[in-house]
Chain A
Amino acid sequence: MAASPENTVPQASRNAAGGVRPAVVIGGNRIPFARAHGHYAHASNQDMLTAAIDGLVARFGLQGQRLGAVAGGAVLKHPRNFNLVREAVLATALAPDTPAYDVQMACATGMEAIGSLANKIRLGQLESGIGGGVDSTSDAPIAVSEGLRRMLLELHRAKTARQKLAAVARLRPRDLAPDAPGTAEPRTGLSMGEHQALTTAAWGITREAQDQLALASHRNLAAAYERNFFDDLITPYRGLARDANLRADTSAEKLASLQPVFGKDLGTTATMTAGNSTPLTDGAATVLLGSEDFARQHNLPMLANFLDFEAASVDFVRGREGLLMAPAYAVPRLLERNGLSLQDFDFYEIHEAFAGTVLSTLAAWEDAGFCRNKLGLDAPLGPVDRSRLNVNGSSLAAGHPFAATGGRIVATLAKLLHEKGSGRGLVSVCAAGGQGVAAILEAR
Chain B
Amino acid sequence: MSAPERADVVLGSVPKLGPLYAAAAGKQAAGWRRRRAVRGRGPGAPEEVLRLPAVRHVVRGVAADPGRLAAYQRLVGDALRDTLPSVYVHGLAFPVAVGVMVRADFPLPLLGMVHLGNVVEHSRPIGVGEELEIAAWPENLRAHRAGTRVDMVVEASAGGVPVWRGVSTYLAKGIGAAPELAPGEPRACLPPAPTARWQLDAATGRAYAAVLGDYNPIHLGVLPAKALGLKRPIAHGMYLAGRVLATAAPNDCGYRWSIRFEAPVFLPGTVEVALGPHNGTVDFEGWNAASGRRHFAGRVGALPPAET
Contact = CB atoms under 8 A, between A and B. Distances in A.
Does A touch B (CB under 8 Å) in the complex? yes
Interface of A: 185-190, 194, 198, 201-202, 265-268, 316-320
A319 B277 contact: yes
Contacts of A320: 276-277
A317 B274 CA distance: 9
B194 A190 contact: yes
A201 B193 contact: yes
B2 interface: no
B196 A187 contact: yes
Given A189-B196, A267-B193, A319-B195, 14 more contacts: A185-B196, A188-B196, A188-B197, A189-B198, A189-B199, A194-B197, A198-B193, A198-B194, A266-B194, A267-B190, A267-B289, A316-B195, A319-B276, A320-B276
Contact of B196 (A202, A267, A268, A317): A317
A318 B276 CA distance: 6
Nearest to B201: A174
15 contacts: A187-B77, A188-B195, A188-B197, A189-B196, A189-B197, A201-B193, A267-B191, A316-B195, A317-B195, A317-B196, A317-B275, A318-B247, A318-B282, A320-B276, A320-B277
A206 to B, nearest CB: 18
B89 interface: no
Contacts of A318: 195, 247-248, 275-277, 282
Contacts of A190: 194-197
A268 B77 contact: no
Contacts of B193: 198, 201-202, 266-268
B207 to A, nearest CB: 10
A187 B248 CA distance: 11
B274 A187 contact: no
Contacts of B273: 188
Chain A binding surface SS class: loop
Contacts of A201: 193
Contacts of B282: 318-319
A265 B191 CA distance: 12
A188 B282 CA distance: 15
Given A186-B77, A265-B289, A317 B198 contact: no
Contacts of A316: 195
A265 B195 CA distance: 13
A194 B77 CA distance: 21
B221 to A, nearest CB: 14
A143 to B, nearest CB: 15
Contacts of B248: 318
Interface string B272-295: 011111000010000001000000
Contacts of A265: 289
Contacts of B247: 187, 317-318
A188 B275 CA distance: 10
Most buried by A among B195, B199, B274, B275: B195
A319 B193 CA distance: 9
A79 to B, nearest CB: 19
Nearest to B191: A267
A208 B22 CA distance: 63
A187 B197 CA distance: 9
A196 to B, nearest CB: 12
Nearest to B287: A267
Cβ-closest 9 pairs across A and B: A188-B196, A319-B195, A319-B276, A189-B197, A319-B275, A318-B275, A198-B193, A190-B197, A318-B282
A434 to B, nearest CB: 11
Contacts of B289: 265-267
Contact of B274 (A189, A194, A319): A319
Contacts of A317: 195-196, 247, 275
A185 B77 CA distance: 12
Contacts of B77: 186-187
Nearest to A189: B197
Interface string B140-165: 00000000000000000000000000
A203 to B, nearest CB: 12
Contacts of A266: 193-194, 289
Contacts of A268: 193
Most buried by A among B196, B277, B289: B196
Most buried by B among A187, A317, A318: A318
Nearest to A317: B247
A237 B275 CA distance: 45
Nearest to A198: B193
A319 B286 CA distance: 13
B192 to A, nearest CB: 8
A194 to B, nearest CB: 7
B289 to A, nearest CB: 5
Interface string B192-212: 011111110000000000000
B273 to A, nearest CB: 8
Nearest to A263: B193
A37 to B, nearest CB: 25
Nearest to B274: A319
B11 to A, nearest CB: 30
B225 to A, nearest CB: 20
Nearest to B246: A187
A317 B199 CA distance: 16
A320 B275 CA distance: 8
A194 B197 CA distance: 10
Contacts of B190: 267
A58 to B, nearest CB: 46
Most buried by A among B190, B194, B248, B289: B194
Nearest to B71: A150
A186 to B, nearest CB: 7
Contacts of A189: 196-199
Nearest to B277: A320
